[in-house]
Amino acid sequence: MTRLTDVFPGLKVTPVIGILRGLGSEEAEMAAGLALEAGIPLIEVTLDTEGAFDQIKRLTDRGVTTGAGSVLTENAAERAFSVGAAFIITPAVVPSVVRACAEASIPCIPGAATPTEITMALDLGAAAVKVFPADLLGGPAYLRAIRRPLHDPPLIPTGGIGPDNAAE
């Protein structure tokens, strides 16, 4: 299995994906620039943001490794590919999206909450799995509890992660 850190080595240094949700284009460009300065290697623009596809294209054209988030349909994933999205993030395991990403050789990070969903996402070809909402599922203790029996899958906790608990 290809891990996300194999595709994006910068995640080995700073294992953070910046999320831009609900920002205007100028704000998004400023936030992405600040994130890059802080060492955050990847930026996700959520598709529930007005003009999300234009933002992805603008950031990608400026050399920012940008992906599309909150992707729920194969059509949305394909549109994101067409504007240069380097990765796709879904809020749930959406088999058609994961398969479309695999066919296009674009890393997909589907959201999952249970060991069954995590295993299914990886079996479909996910590059990593977004454990969401990590804080409500039990935070670091939950992640530790599921890692070993699932053979240390590539997990990205999302939701309730901040400076106070990021290291854990």
**Segment 70-106, tens digit of pLDDT:** 999 999 999 999 999 999 999 999 999 999 999 999 9
Q: Are strands 42-46 and 66-69 parallel, antiparallel or unpaired?
A: parallel
pTM: 0.93
d(CA 47, CA 88): 10
What is the rounded average pLDDT for all residues in the chain?
92
CATH number where 80 lies: 3.20.20.70
Asked, for residue 83, whether it belongs to a domain, the answer is yes
Give the residue numbers annotated as catalytic, written as ranges.
Answer: 44, 130
**Residue 42 structure tokens:** 């990847």
Residue 56, pLDDT above cutoff 70:
yes
DSSP 30: H
What is the extent of the structural domain holding 74?
A: 4-157
Asked, for residue 167, whether it belongs to a domain, the answer is no
Asked, for residue 62, whether it belongs to a domain, the answer is yes
Asked, for residue 117, whether it belongs to a domain, the answer is yes
Residue with tokens 């994101």: 80
User: What one-character-per-residue DSSP string does 58-126 give?
Assistant: HHHHTT--EEEES--SHHHHHHHHHTT-S-EE-SS--HHHHHHHHHHT--EE-EE-SHHHHHHHHHHT-
Domain count for the chain, please give it. 1
Per-residue pLDDT band at 2 (split at 50, 70, 90): low
Residue 167, pLDDT above cutoff 90:
no
